[in-house]
Every structure is written in C-alpha cells, then in structure tokens.
Amino acid sequence: MQQQTRPHRLLQTLRRPAFVLTALSSLAGMAHAQANVEIFGLLDIGYLHTSADGNGSVSSINTDGNTSSRLGFRGTEDLGGGMKAAFWLEAAVGPDTGIGGSTSVENKTAGLAGINGSQGLTFGRRSTVSLIGGFGELRLGRDYVPSFNNLTVSMHPFGTNGVGNAGQLFYQVNTGGTTARTNVRASNSIGYFLPAGLGGFTGHFMYAMGEQASNAGAIADDGNHVGARIGYRSGDLNMALATGTTKYATGDFTQTNFAINYQFGPAKLMYLWGKNDVGVTSTTVNMVGTQYKVSTGEVRFAYTTLKADKVANDATQWAVGYVHDLSKRTALYANYSQVSNDGTGVKFSVGSGNSTTTPGGGSTGYEFGVRHSF
C-alpha cells in the first residue's frame, strides 16, 4: 500500500473535530488574556401617576423610576507593567417607548441636532477611552462632571431617579438666556482620577471644551467646563466636596455641593447641601434623609428645602420609597413624593410633564415598577 504523504496526513489532522475545537479554544484563551469586553445593561419600567394643583393628573407607563435604563459596552486590555487601556460606551434607552437618549456635542444645545430624543441609539450617557495605572486614571470623552457624583444614590436616598429624585430641587434654574447642559455630564472632556490607596481620599478633576473658535468673541468660551471633586471614605463614613463651572456668554453656571453620610447599623444617615449659580441668580438646597436596610430590600426617605435668590421661588419636598430585592439583578420598587412651592411660586413640581399652575401650589406623585439588570 502506498505511503501517505505528509501534507495528506496534516490535512486529515486538521479535519478532526477535536483538533479544531482545541485550536479555537486556544485562540479564544489568548484573546481573553489580552482583552476583556462586556455587554451590559439595565431596564427599568413602571407605572407613574402625578397630580398638580390647577393642572389635573396624568397617568403613564414610565421609565427610570429607580435606576436609569441603559445599554452599554465596556472593556479593558492589559498593556503590561501595571497599565491598562479601557473603553466605555453607554446609551440611554426608554423601555416604555424604545427610543434612545440625547446628548450635547458642545455642552450648549440639546441633542445631536439640537432636538431631544429625536435620534436613535446615542452613547450620551458615557463615551470614554482611558489609560489606567499606578498614577490613577486618565479618561477622555463624554462623562459625568465631578459635581454630579454627589447627587447619585450613594449620597442621596433616591439619587436622580423617580418622583423623589434629587434633580427636582438640586438642579439649576436656567434663566437670563443661559440653559446649562453640564449639570450631569460634559462632552469633549479630559478627566483625571486619583489612584486607590491614598488613605481613603479620592479625587476627580475635569476640563471639558465647548470647542468654539478662539476668535468668536463673546462666545469663544461657551461650553468650556472646569470641575473637581475631593472625597474621603473610611469605614462607615463617606463624604465629598465638589464644584464645577461652565462658561456661557449669557451667564456662567456653577454647581457646588457637599455630601456626607454615615452607616449606623441598618441605617445610612445622609446630608446633602448644594448651590447652583446661573448668572446673578442662585438656588441653595439642603437635604436630610436615610436609606434603611431591611431583610428583603431598603426603605428610603428624604426631606429637602430650597431657598431661591433673584429667581423662581422657595420650595420644599419630601419623599418616601421602598426597594424590594427579588434577586441580585431584579427588584421591585414603589415611591411617593410631594413638592410644595412657597408664596405665589409655581416653578417646582414632581416630574416634568405635569406642573402646577396655581400660585403657591404643589404636586404629588407615586410610582411602582420593576428594575432588571443584565
């Protein structure tokens, strides 16, 4: 019998399923050792009912009552020598309608074309590339401004979601032609984060560009943002001070806040102070609240007062809620909130789609829903 040639024997080997699977597994293992990419997301949907003095009530299927819905992609690559490269793309999604969220390309106008919610999937929540090492993290792209982090659920019982959210009173009142777009995020940013292991101290510093022409006169600095946050966390204590200013020709916007909380047994006792300056106007806000752990979830409560100067009116808000964990990835929630305007004011309300029209009136809202992460 004629002896098989070496190429023929090699071809037979390559055709064997076991060999193919082993080769593919080896290649996949090599790729995994170099880089790690993850698809992640969260969907939050529920029922919302709001009532406003002089404006009736509205019922709706709503999103983001507990946590913001999102779809994202993130990954890291080990560069060796203790350094990593990382990317993060995160888009807002509305499970009640299926639309994507908006963004601001130069920290001035809303949406890619100046229109909110008109586009498809936009990575407006976060779009960054990072270098990470012993020096900390250098992060470029669209990201949270440092001063927003004191409004999240780690520093406020409800964070910026639902009828009890911090944004209803802690966000700025736009006036004098200024509509600030940097109370949450900034585009075109350069961010730096201090490394871990500094005795509990943390730091976040940012410079973001409005990308206007240098010879544009009064609007040359429009959309430029500078911000910083210094924090300290040790054991049950967590605190941070943050500030950020965005330049606008119609009047600069400055957001400053201080948050402190302490975990006392099952209760996290929380205090948050904030001030927003838009041109010559300002609002100053104080909140006391708690997140109280129970066996199956968490009870939340917040009481907030606002003092206004040269704009809008004074107001108060209180909110109570409960989050019931079904698993590590799924939870049910229910919230109730009431906002009251002082004097003859009508500026503040629960939710943005149903505002009071009665001078000195108020509004209430309740919601319940489900949150699932993946």
Express each pLDDT in 282-305 by its tens digit: 999 999 999 999 999 999 999 999
The gap from C-alpha 253 to its chain's centroid, in whole angstroms, comes to 19
Q: What angle in degrees, to the nearest 10, is found between the helix axes of 6-15 and 17-34?
A: 70
CATH number given to 39-373: 2.40.160.10
> What sign does the dihedral 190-174-122-59 (CA atoms) show?
positive
For residue range 231-268, list pLDDT tens digits in order. 999 999 999 999 999 999 999 999 999 999 999 999 99
pLDDT at 214: 94
pLDDT at 103: 87
Phi-psi region of 220 (alpha: psi -120 to 50; beta: other; left: phi over 0): alpha
Give the residues of the chain that fall short of pLDDT 70: 1-34, 111-119
pLDDT at 199: 97
Q: How long a stretch of residues is the chain?
A: 374
Q: Classify residue 228 as exposed, middle or buried by CB count within 10 Å of its CB (0-12, 13-18, 19+).
A: middle
The answer to whether the CB of 262 falls within 8 A of the CB of 271 is no
Task: Choose among 64, 67, 71, 121: nearest CA to 96.
Answer: 64
Element (H, E) at 265: none
Task: Choose among 64, 143, 63: nearest CA to 103.
Answer: 143
Instruction: Give residue 325's identity as a one-letter amino acid code.
Output: D
Q: DSSP assignment, residue 2?
A: P
Helix boundaries (H) for the chain:
6-15, 17-34, 167-170
Contacts of 200 (CB under 8 A, 6+ apart): 232, 233, 234
pLDDT at 299: 98
Give the 3-state secondary structure of 231-259: EEEECCEEEEEEEEEECCCCCCEEEEEEE
pLDDT at 136: 98
3-state secondary structure of 27: helix
Quote the CA–CA distance of 238 and 102 in Å, as a whole number. 32
- Give me the residues paired with residue 340 across strands: 316, 362
pLDDT at 17: 47
pLDDT at 39: 98
Task: Choose among 180, 310, 183: nearest CA to 248.
Answer: 180
Q: Where are the domains of the chain?
A: 39-373
3-state secondary structure of 50: strand
Helix boundaries (H) for 210-365:
none
Quote the CA–CA distance of 280 and 311 in Å, as a whole number. 9
pLDDT at 2: 45
Q: Classify residue 217 as exposed, middle or buried by CB count within 10 Å of its CB (0-12, 13-18, 19+).
A: exposed
pLDDT at 16: 52
Quote the CA–CA distance of 45 and 59 in Å, as a whole number. 14
Quote the CA–CA distance of 51 and 62 in Å, as a whole number. 15
The answer to whether the CB of 85 falls within 8 A of the CB of 131 is yes
Residue 361 φ/ψ, nearest 5 degrees:
-80, 180
Q: E strands of the chain, at which residues?
A: 35-52, 56-63, 70-80, 83-92, 126-133, 136-144, 185-193, 201-208, 225-234, 237-246, 253-264, 267-278, 281-294, 297-309, 315-325, 330-341, 362-373
